[in-house]
């Protein structure tokens, strides 16, 4: 990411990492927390502020689908700035 800074064109970044991701791994995943924090810092240094950049660190979170599923509605809500119910409104179709 360092060599390819991202220009602010109105996009928003929601980053989630569990504090247990990579624990006990011998792969690149072992650096998940550190690399996520580095990516966040690079985006912040590129000018993305709190309104356009969010990092959430999940206590006890592992790299598992159920953790992602739990976090996903909050990510959508923050990215699009709306209640998740607006994605599936109760409307009549004609």
Return the pLDDT at 91: 46
> What's the rounded Cα separation, in Å, for the pair 58 and 71?
9
Return the pLDDT at 89: 53
Return the pLDDT at 55: 96
Q: What does each of the 94 residues of the chain score in pLDDT, given as a tens digit?
A: 677 778 888 899 999 999 999 899 999 989 999 999 999 999 998 889 888 999 999 999 988 899 989 999 999 999 988 755 555 555 443 3
Integer angstrom CA distances of residue 56 from 9, 16, 73, 74: 22, 5, 13, 10
Residues 6+ apart with CB under 8 A from 75: 14, 16
> What's the rounded Cα separation, in Å, for the pair 39 and 17?
12
- pLDDT tens string 2-20: 777 788 888 999 999 999 9
């Amino acid at each position: 990411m360092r060599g390819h800074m991202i220009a602010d064109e109105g996009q928003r970044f929601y980053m989630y990492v569990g504090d247990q991701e990579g624990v006990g791994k011998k792969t690149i995943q072992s650096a998940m927390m550190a690399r996520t924090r580095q990516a966040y810092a690079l985006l912040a240094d590129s000018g993305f502020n709190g309104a356009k950049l969010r990092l959430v660190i999940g206590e006890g979170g592992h790299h598992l689908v159920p953790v992602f599923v739990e976090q996903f509605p909050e990510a959508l809500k923050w990215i699009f700035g709306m209640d998740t119910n607006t994605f599936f409104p109760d409307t009549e179709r004609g």
